[in-house]
Structure 1
């Protein structure tokens, strides 16, 4: 999962440093993430992981760090798995 996220950050976020240089909890906005690039990243993540972020996750905080992105993806996957099981 981390490798895919980092690849998408490199492809879509246009940061000043490659994702391999970022700490998992490093601030992506401080690294140069713009609001437009954040939207592009969220869309790419949805496609890559075959998920749909709920409206409550469509905010700056959700893509503030790699760790936060991982957390959001896992939460969406868990919610979708619960819905399928019901």
Structure 2
């Protein structure tokens, strides 16, 4: 899943540095992630993984890193309510 997320990020978000140079824990906002990128990435992730990210999950922490996105998608796919 993380490789799929990296590809989606690479295709959707244009950082000043390559996503390939970032670890799964690196802060995407520090790499140049913006609020516009958040919307674009959210739509791409929802489409690719066939999930809907609920409003209560839409925050900076969700899009902080590849790991945080992967964790959220796993939660959504399993149908586990998140807080």
TM-score scaled to structure 2, two decimals?
Answer: 0.90
Match of residue 20 from structure 2: 20
Superposed counterparts of 1:40-79, under 5 Å: 40-79=40-79
Q: When the two structures are aligned, how many residues end up with a matched partner?
A: 81
Match of residue 29 from structure 1: 29
Distance 1:61 1:13 in 2: 17
Task: List alignment gaps of at least 5 residues for structure 1.
Answer: none
Q: Which structure: greater helix fraction?
A: 1
Aligned structure 1 segments of 4 or more residues deviating by more than 3 angstroms: none
Task: List alignment gaps of at least 5 residues for structure 2.
Answer: none
Work out which of the two has the higher radius of gyration on C-alpha atoms and give 1 or 2: 1
